[in-house]
Structure 1
Amino acid sequence: MRRTARLLTGTALAAAAAGLASAPAYAAGTGTLEVFPSSVVPGSQVTVNTAVCGDKGSATGDAGAVGAGTFTLAPSAHEGDAIGQFRVPPSAQPGTYEIVAKCAEGGRQVTGDLVVTLSAAPAQVQPRGSVKTGVGGALGPGSAQTTAGVAALAVAAAGGTWLLHRRARGDGF
């Protein structure tokens, strides 16, 4: 029993040590190039940032795929990220383009995607017209319909008053 416990403990320690030894190598290879906004129209300015290059790291960006050429990512106070900007040329065609940044120290490379569209996101459309609640609204459907509705109510009120008046006089109905 004691021998089995030692064997299991030794195996668990070996696995943990192997996991710890490989963690820095795995973490060093990860990272992203964040692209803001990720979807643009030709002529727009794009900002990219990455934390892969370290707190004081800089990088060279490449937006040649979209036709913008190279740009610099400089260290910033924003969470230690390296940040850079470029402008999408007005001649850019719709599609998804890979933007690349390569760290000045260590040569690590990260990529991000930029989507170019021909039209900007649709503007939010404000609702128009009246709400069909049966009560009416301040922004009625139109002056002709409002006038017709008021006239119908006036005729109904006049007719109801006339019928009640006849009934009270005893003329019958």
Structure 2
Amino acid sequence: MTRKGRRPLTTAVLTAAAAGLFAAPAYAAGPGGGTGAGGLEVYPATVTPGTTVTVNTTACGSGGTATGDASAVGAGTFTLAPSTHEEDAIGQFKVPPSAQPGTYEIVAKCAGSGAGGKQVAGDLMVTVTSTASAREQSPVPPKGHVKTGVGGALGPDPVQTAAGVAALAVAAAGGTWLLHRRARGDRI
């Protein structure tokens, strides 16, 4: 390919780069509203009433603790303690069975001298039905007969099915015999 033939591709790459298409992804609020850089991560972010929710943050620093507040959804306060993951504070609360569908802000306030007083928040969505729980259920195989309109005229009984097949075979043999006689010129 000549140098001139490569120019449109080079121009397209430079145009895309200028438009920001090849820029590194920035942290944005993800599921649960955490920002990825010290925000509050809520997992699972979408729940049904009665579900236990795990909350974690890196905002409080290494060995930091926090007090969580899920009173917006009716769960009250909970503690976030240092976890085995570096710089993570983690805690849990249970969404009450009486929780109504909607989006709720879950808040954590760091304790201690390093990041003490720092507050982070994340969103929790409560629904009536959960897509995660629907996926976890194993499918139930169908029972009984499927009415498709194809076959089954004699029923599911094997004896009746065999009789039907025999009747069709006799009819086919008789039809073949008649066509053969007609082709030979025999009168019926």
TM-score interval, normalised by the smaller of the two chains: 0.5 to 0.7
Number of matched pairs: 134
Q: Please, what is the CA RMSD of the aligned residues?
A: 3.1
Q: What fraction of aligned residue pairs are identical, expressed as a percent?
A: 55
1:43-85: CA deviations, max 9, x gaps?
Answer: 2211101112222111111111111111110111134311100
Equivalent in the alignment of 2:79: 72
Equivalent in the alignment of 1:166: 178
TM-score (normalised: structure 2): 0.58
In structure 2, distance between residues paired with 1:172 and 1:74: 101
Cα pair 1:52 1:108 within 8 Å, conserved:
yes
Secondary structure of 2:81's partner?
strand
- Structure 1, unaligned runs of 5 or more: 1-29, 130-138
Secondary structure of 1:65's partner?
coil
1:91 to 74, 88, 98: 98
Cα pair 2:60 2:87 within 8 Å, conserved:
no
In structure 2, distance between residues paired with 1:73 and 1:67: 18
Letter in 2 for 1:65: A
Equivalent in the alignment of 1:133: none
TM-score (normalised: structure 1): 0.63
Q: Is 1:118 matched up with 2:128?
A: yes
- Structure 2, unaligned runs of 5 or more: 1-36, 156-160
Cα pair 1:61 1:73 within 8 Å, conserved:
yes
In structure 1, distance between residues paired with 2:99 and 2:123: 15
In structure 2, distance between residues paired with 1:102 and 1:52: 9
Cα pair 1:140 1:146 within 8 Å, conserved:
no
Structure 1 residues 141, 153: CA separation in 2 closer, same or farther (over 3 Å shift)? farther
In structure 1, distance between residues paired with 2:41 and 2:165: 63
Q: Which has the higher helix share?
A: 1
Equivalent in the alignment of 1:47: 54
Secondary structure of 1:166's partner?
helix
Letter in 2 for 1:123: A
In structure 2, distance between residues paired with 1:155 and 1:81: 77
In structure 1, distance between residues paired with 2:73 and 2:84: 28
Letter in 2 for 1:40: V
In structure 2, distance between residues paired with 1:61 and 1:128: 46
